[in-house]
Amino acid sequence: MGFNKFLLLLCFVVSGTAHAAPAILVFGDSLSAGYGLAAHQAWPDLLQQRLDAGQRKWQVVNASISGETSAGGLSRLPAALAQYKPAVVILALGANDGLRGLPLAAMHDNLNSMILQIRQSGARTLLVGVRLPPNYGIAYTEKFQQTFADLAQQHHVALLPSLLAGVESRPELFQADGLHPIASAENQVMENVWKVLLPLLAAKH
């Protein structure tokens, strides 16, 4: 191969790498991992389909794990940021902290640390909350919900107050465990995320 042809090939490879689709990292628990569903039915997959249909050059990477707590997410996040180098992180953790009645101060600190790490990486954050069932007591559930709002305000990051808005009050849209949406409800979940995510995608990378 001549030197000039080699240079042309090198430029092509570098150019292709430079224009790889930026990543949206979904970093959550079973509500984002698609518990009880086929992989293509979970809302992150539906989000990728929405992006592809609109010819938006983004790649959704779902690093969610069923049962994950904010503490578990904090321990996994550095490796995920290094591996995927996302432009946007959808941080959807805390539900299992609440369901297990874990200290909310610890959840706050864990989420706070993750938001700081995401910012340091150069990515933008979409913080996603959930609403707990009322049987956990008004004081705990209100403080739980407020934690997400306080963090979003403190760090000036986008907030989706409840991932399951429009679903949570309809028992027929949940699996037998009463916690995880059925497949037909996942599109509503994706739409909830989409409305808040879209402005982040429009921002300069």
Helix 104-121, helix 138-155: angle, nearest 10: 20
Active-site residue numbers? 30, 177, 180
Cα separation of 131 and 199, whole Å? Answer: 24
Q: Which of 34, 11, 13, 23 is closest to 186 using CA atoms?
A: 34
Of the candidates 14, 24, 17, which has an alpha carbon nearest to the alpha carbon of residue 56? 24
